Amino acid sequence: MKTHLKESLPLSISFFPFLSRFPLLFLALFAGFLAGTSLTSLSSPVHLSVFSTPSLQTTPSSNSSMAILGLNDLIQPKWVLHNMTDAELLWRASMAPLATGEPFRRVPKVAFLFLVRGAVPLAPLWDKFFAGHEGFFSIYVHGDPFYNDTTPPSSAFFGRRVPSKVVKWGKLSMVEAERRLLGNALLDMNNERFVLLSEACIPLYSFPEIYSYLINSSSSFVQSIDEPGPAGRGRYSRRMAPTVRASQWRKGSQWFELDRFLALRVVSDVVFFPVFSKFCRAACYADEHYLPTMVTSRWPARNANRSLTWVDWSAGGPHPARFWRPAVTEALLRRMRTGSTCEYNGRSSKMCFLFARKFLPGALPRLLRFAPKTLGFG
């Protein structure tokens, strides 16, 4: 009877006298039971080691899913979008390494800065110009911040619009946009030359010719003229003195080309820009005076004192001539290319203008047709 009763008891009861004789074993089994229950309830795995204590971290590190930042990400950003303010951008862009030599293979690039209102209607021509030369140029587009960009992914202009603000013709906002473009382009340490263009500009030579001309130039290209009369000296304000004296006042084309040395000085300028911001008003067009005055006052030896963009002012007035479709001929393009004489690196040259404006959207078909034979690309 006693044996039968013992056999009929539940395992937990029948096994209890045995465990009472070995209390340490009981405690170990009980602890194992609790540990197993808690482990199965955890949503994240815990890795245990027989020879080491368990890690206190029971969830994967947030850093494990983040990309590691490399040197190339710092010297050559892949994207142009950011959330920096103008002050933050210009401060960041003004940084320059003091150490000599680079710990990477630096390929100097030309930064093409497009200051536009909306679309870039001549983009198909520029796409042919850039094709096959990736790694030797960068594109930055500053436009209306409310413009709905529809650039196709196949274009070199796709994804190249920088954070922009509204720009008004003849106002200080034009210079602010130029500095904003320079600031974005300077974030790429490989950008060595910086050329300002508009949506109405075209290249007059092939990419290899323009690249070689700019990279090998010993000068920057900022037109600077001491022009008498109301459209020149007449725009000067005596309140700019003593920072800007009347003898330093200059006028020139808005369309500049700078080396990295001068581009860094423009974005870090806290001397001339505040004065222009305060006193260059009304009939004083800052985009025609700011750079010519500053460069001539501080670094005249670094400047070729001419623009690389061909413009026709023969008709007079505040705006240059515009070229419609019928006006675009091979003869016109040849005259833009070789119709002038200038100095390049101390020698006389017929290659004075690398770009030209103002071409209207309707001129695109003829430009595409003439480009292979007359311009050397496409």
224: Cα within 13 Å, side-chain hemisphere: 24
Strand-pair partners of 140:
113
* Structure tokens belonging to residue 101: 């030599």
pLDDT at 197 over 80: yes
What is the DSSP-derived secondary structure letter of residue 228?
Answer: -
Interatomic CA distance for residues 201 and 306, integer angstroms: 17
* Structure tokens belonging to residue 170: 């003849």
Query: What are the sequence ranges of the domains in the chain?
Result: 83-95+105-307
194 with 206: CB under 8 angstroms? no
pLDDT at 344 over 80: yes
Architecture category of domain 83-95+105-307 in CATH: Alpha-Beta Complex (3.90)
Q: What is the pLDDT of residue 107?
A: 94
Mean pLDDT to the nearest integer, 123-147: 97
Residue % of the chain over a pLDDT of 70: 82
Mean pLDDT to the nearest integer, 39-56: 35
* Structure tokens belonging to residue 55: 């890690």
Residues sharing a CB contact under 8 Å with residue 40, sequence separation 6 or more, in sequence order? none
Mean pLDDT to the nearest integer, 33-50: 37
Mean pLDDT to the nearest integer, 282-302: 96
Q: What is the pLDDT of residue 351?
A: 98
Interatomic CA distance for residues 113 and 255, integer angstroms: 10
pLDDT at 41 over 70: no
Closest C-alpha among 151, 147, 139, 186 to residue 164: 147
* Cis check: omega of the bond before 358, within 30 degrees of 0: yes
197 with 113: CB under 8 angstroms? yes
Interatomic CA distance for residues 183 and 158, integer angstroms: 20
DSSP string, 173-238: HHHHHHHHHHHHHHTSTTEEEEEEEETT-EESS-HHHHHHHHHT-SSBB---B---STTTGGG--G
Q: What is the pLDDT of residue 65?
A: 56
The amino acid that residue 146 corresponds to is F
Q: What is the pLDDT of residue 135?
A: 96
Q: Assign 141 to helix, strand or coil.
A: strand
Q: What is the pLDDT of residue 317?
A: 76
Q: What is the pLDDT of residue 13?
A: 36
Please report the sign of the dihedral spanned by the C-alpha atoms of residue 316, residue 319, residue 325, residue 330.
positive
Phi-psi region of 159 (alpha: psi -120 to 50; beta: other; left: phi over 0): left
Global pTM exceeds 0.85: no
